[in-house]
Chain A
Amino acid sequence: MSALGATGGPAGTAPEPRHGRRIFAIWLVATVIVVPLVIWVVGPHIPPVRNSQQANDQHAVNVVLAALAMPVLLFIWVYFGYAIAVWRQRPGDAAVDGPPIEGNPRIQLTWLALTSVLVLGLAVYGSVDLLTKAGAGGGEGPNPIAKPSPAALRNALQVQVIGQQWLWTFRYPSYGGVETPYLEIPVNRTIVLHVTSLDVAHSFWAYELAVKADAIPGNDNVAYVTATKTRSFQIRCAELCGLWHGHMNTTGQVVSDSDFATWIAQQQSQYSGVTKELPPYSHVYYPQPIRRAG
């Protein structure tokens, strides 16, 4: 970095200070201070909060990305700050032009190599993470490629999430296809969410569990989640779905296995009359579209 081009200033002036080394030194000090701060002080507070395996994973990714972004951010800030402070023309300075440096292939190639390595590293990291962490909580369409372990899948609970203007309902196929307006899931058990819609596009976002899957009519969008804490969580629609999009939210509960068994039995009896009238459980439903509703 010490020379971006020809060295030395115009003849007859004092030799140029070694700007490159100074900038590098400032950057190094700033990086050494800031990166540990970002990882260990700010890091634990970076969302999402670790309430599920998926949230844990996304949290780790966000901390890694923040730690990688800091040196880049600091380099640009330090460089531009240095340039403005040192090379700025002040009132009274002679109006002369700068040194006519037109480029430096070595620096250009180094820069390209560095950014390429960074980008390739990020892509590999992201892909491996996506494939090994069961989709990291994102919707994966009807035939997911990134799945939990076969053991976890055998024991998994299937839950269908149905979006419609402007509410969420949930069907539990292994409990007689009962449909309820409440979402409760057992803790520490893999949940297979089948997200679909009856009318327009919605997006199921369980913020505290770090799950998001678009609800597209005619599509069975599968996402996996394993909650690790018993707590309530917000469910919000994250895809513009018409008039009351902002109000399409509800609250879900992560409960213990025994609480879940009690709750689902209660739902089955409460909605038994409704369940009989429902269409049979299916991955997608094809209702008539509502035209010109506003």
Chain B
Amino acid sequence: MEAATTTSATAITGKRVRPPLLDYNVIWAVALGIGGYFLGHFLGARIGHHLDAQSMSDQDDMAIFAGFIVATIGFLLGLGFFAYPVSRILGRPATLREGEEHGPWRYFRLCTDHKVVALQYFVGVFFFFFVGGLNAMFIRAELTHSNATLFQAGNYLTLVSLHGTMMLMMMSAAVLGAFGNWLVPIMVGARRMAFPRVESLTLWLTVLAGVVLLSAIFLGGFPTGWTGYAPLSDQARGGMDAYLFSFALIGISLALVGLNMIATVMTMRAPGLTYNRIPVFVWGVITTSVLAVLAAPVLFAALYMGAFDRTIETSFFLPSQGGSPYLWDNLFWFFGHPEVYILALPGFGIVLELLPVFTRKPLWGYRVAVAGMFGVALLSFMVWQHHLFVSGINANLRPFYMFTTELISIPTGIIFLIGIGTLWRGRIRLTVPMLFCLAFFFNFLIGGLSGVYLSDVPSDVTTHGSYFVMAHFHYTIMGGLVFALMAAIYYWLPKMTGFKLNDTLAKVHFWGMFIFFNLTFFPLLAAGMLGMPRRVSSYNPSLHTLNVFVSSSAFLLGASMLVLLINLVWSQIVRREPAEANPWQSKSIEFQLPTPVPAHNFDRIPVITSAPYSYGVEDAPPVADFGAQAGHGGPAVAPEGGRA
């Protein structure tokens, strides 16, 4: 790695730089992707013609799947993902850096600069996040009537399914992708991720997954929600294939992100960065990555079986032919519950990382916080059948799953304890990121306490599958993760792009989002208790007033997200006011670098001298020695294990 950084990138790649339009870029990728779909569809149809189920209907799932597979290959080809393996096979020299010398075009192709990939993630994920949000607006519009009026039944279910699947897919990529990729290499004192090409691959797979999922609209939609329960998934139209394929892409992407993050933190830490000096955000990323690596392959296996059921007529999930719907339920939730914590843990990491900065105090109970996050990660694999309490599966095990589910409130309680300890006698600065962090605790508390009702089997009998569940997980995912994500945006985005965000718009966004989030979802806890099932387009007329109120505040919640969008466009694209290097007086390493952060982060690999939380410590050393000579040992600045 040292050798690579002493010479310029162009010299290393040793190849002529082609004009950007002719080189690999997203235009070629889209062209090859679309072409690939039709080629694959044609080939798949040759096979599909020989299968009973396909020939008896007007749709050919084999052709759709083959189309998606060839489209993926074409898409990745156009972005340049095959250039490296092919050139290695042909015996050409290896390069660590690809696409970093392409000016603005580097944002539209395979690029190995982790800061570029992070911003690509940010834009990509937020595009799909807003698409998912728009779906939610349509759903709430339909629910202003107690009887289905606005959308046809199939279209409504497609909206519900797209909203759920899109949000779950994109939110699992949001923090790890946009902030993990940007921050982890810098926080561990490295110039890149351990596998920079894999890093770029995970991004483009995520983008492709979003597009494939949206293609469900043109394939007849899908009626199953994000859970894709069989055997409904087997009888669904071609949109189901888009669900299975896009979720599989996300599964691959998640597992690779996780491996990449773990490898980066394990192998690329700068000298002096002992395990007890790693920023707590990085611990959040590590625990999330462990979950992603272990859970995503199970999802992939389930989707694989589902795709086989739909194409070559296996019967993994079809009871009439010896399969079992419970198999899907088990596999899906074995992934699905860790997935919930894939969403929650990065939020914990962000909030705990920001609290010390805005209370001007060290993180209170660092080791306990890390232990808490590992506790959550471990327990999340032992609770999945609480999603199936009334399904008739393994009834004898319900007390066990009730116990493990309630056990999770111990490590999540620790996160609250750390917040309490860090706030104690702090010098609390109520900046916009801090407001979002405090709102995180407010929302997540309601999410957690409503979760206790769901974990208790007798109480769950009524709340299961109702709006209570829906409100509960919006309190944890949106009230938890998305609020933490907003804190991260206002805290880190100016550092990432080099341009300030407007503070007035930020405050308007915060108050709008906080108030209308609670006005939207708290009444829905009541709607569930009062007998409203999830995912319905018609409901008991007695709940009409409640739903009109919820819809109104949901629209205002959507409007508050528009304020964020306006702020991003206005301050990042129109005004472009340069951001300071360290606007928050943070001690964290990324804020000790100039803004914008130079191409390869550090002139020399820094020596980490302290944990980044030494606020209020007299004569605290700076977090890192940037002038120190890189390499083995370094000067005796940091005794191993010292925590300053």
Contacts and interface: CB of A to CB of B under 8 A. Distances in A.
Interface centre among A57, A73, A76, A240 (most CB of B within 10 A): A240
Interface in A241-288: 241-247, 286-288
A144 B389 CA distance: 13
B458 A292 contact: no
Interface in B415-454: 416-417, 420-421, 423-430, 438, 441-442, 445-446, 449, 452-453
Interface centre among A77, A130, A208, A243 (most CB of B within 10 A): A130
B360 interface: yes
B457 A141 contact: no
Given A239-B465, A292-B57, A292-B237, A98 B426 contact: yes
Given A101-B361, A111-B417, A246 B461 contact: no
B362 interface: yes
A217 B361 CA distance: 58
Contacts of B414: 111-112
B359 A98 contact: yes
B232 A213 contact: no
B582 interface: no
Given A97-B360, A127-B399, A140-B395, A217 B319 contact: yes
Interface in A200-238: 200-201, 203, 205, 207-208, 210-214, 216-223, 234, 236-238
Interface stretch (B129-137, B292-300, B475-483, B533-541): B533-541
Given A5-B424, A201-B229, A290-B235, A243 B153 contact: yes
Contacts of B319: 216-219, 286
A256 B474 CA distance: 43
A16 B147 CA distance: 60
Contacts of B13: none
A49 to B, nearest CB: 10
Interface string A163-203: 00000000000000000000000000000000100011101
B614 interface: yes
A9 B315 CA distance: 70
Given A127-B399, A243-B157, A98 B409 contact: no
Contacts of A154: none
Contacts of A140: 392, 395
Contacts of B537: 246
A37 interface: no
Interface in A36-88: 46-48, 54, 57-58, 61-62, 65, 68-69, 72-73, 76-77, 79-80, 83-84, 87-88
Given A65-B459, A130-B458, A138-B390, A238 B465 contact: yes
Given A205-B533, A292-B235, A97 B615 contact: yes
B400 to A, nearest CB: 9
Contacts of B363: 102
Interface string B470-505: 000000000000000000000000000000000000
Contacts of A101: 361-362, 364, 421, 424-425
A145 interface: yes
A149 interface: no
B53 A76 contact: no
Contacts of B392: 139-142, 195, 213-214, 216, 219-222
Nearest to A46: B529
Nearest to A102: B362
Contact of B390 (A115, A127, A213): A213
A107 interface: yes
A80 B616 contact: no
Contact of B458 (A61, A77, A238): A61
B426 A237 contact: no
Contact of B320 (A72, A98, A212, A287): A287
A201 B420 contact: no
Nearest to A19: B425
B169 to A, nearest CB: 18
Contacts of A129: 456-458
B461 A84 contact: no
A61 B426 contact: no
B220 interface: yes
A133 B458 contact: yes
Contact of B325 (A145, A201, A208): A201
A110 to B, nearest CB: 10
A92 interface: no
Interface in A104-119: 104, 107-108, 111-112, 115-116, 118-119
Interface bin, chain A: 35 or more
Contacts of A207: 462, 531
Interface in B103-125: none
Nearest to B410: A115
B461 A244 contact: no
Nearest to B469: A238
Nearest to B364: A103
A246 B536 contact: yes
A179 to B, nearest CB: 20
A217 B234 contact: no
Interface centre among A5, A48, A73, A212 (most CB of B within 10 A): A212
B225 to A, nearest CB: 5
B148 interface: yes
A247 B154 CA distance: 13
Contacts of A12: none
B581 interface: no
B617 interface: yes
Given A99-B361, A102-B366, A123 B461 contact: no
Nearest to A217: B319
Contact of A145 (B235, B396, B458, B462): B396
Contact of A245 (B157, B413, B441): B157
Contacts of A111: 413-414, 417
A138 B425 contact: no
A278 to B, nearest CB: 18
B365 to A, nearest CB: 4
Contacts of B449: 69, 72-73
B407 interface: yes
B567 to A, nearest CB: 23
A245 B535 contact: yes
B231 interface: yes
A139 B458 contact: no
A289 B409 contact: no
A138 B457 contact: yes
A40 B6 CA distance: 74
Interface centre among A16, A46, A97 (most CB of B within 10 A): A97
A271 B430 CA distance: 71
Contacts of B230: 201
A16 B425 contact: yes
A294 interface: yes
Contact of B421 (A103, A216, A218): A103
Interface centre among B148, B236, B391, B617 (most CB of A within 10 A): B391
A183 B408 CA distance: 40
B268 interface: no
Given A137-B461, A203-B390, A4 B364 contact: yes
A208 B462 CA distance: 10
Given A100-B614, A216-B325, A246-B538, A241 B461 contact: no
The list of the 10 closest CB pairs from A to B, nearest first, reads A218-B319, A246-B536, A221-B392, A136-B458, A97-B616, A238-B465, A141-B392, A207-B531, A98-B361, A127-B399
Given A98-B425, A127-B403, A246-B539, 5 more contacts: A89-B428, A123-B403, A200-B235, A210-B461, A294-B223
16 contacts: A16-B425, A65-B453, A79-B420, A80-B442, A98-B425, A102-B365, A119-B409, A126-B402, A126-B406, A139-B390, A139-B392, A141-B395, A200-B232, A216-B326, A238-B534, A240-B225
Interface of A: 4-5, 16, 19, 46-48, 54, 57-58, 61-62, 65, 68-69, 72-73, 76-77, 79-80, 83-84, 87-89, 93, 95-104, 107-108, 111-112, 115-116, 118-119, 122-123, 125-127, 129-131, 133, 135-146, 195, 199-201, 203, 205, 207-208, 210-214, 216-223, 234, 236-247, 286-294
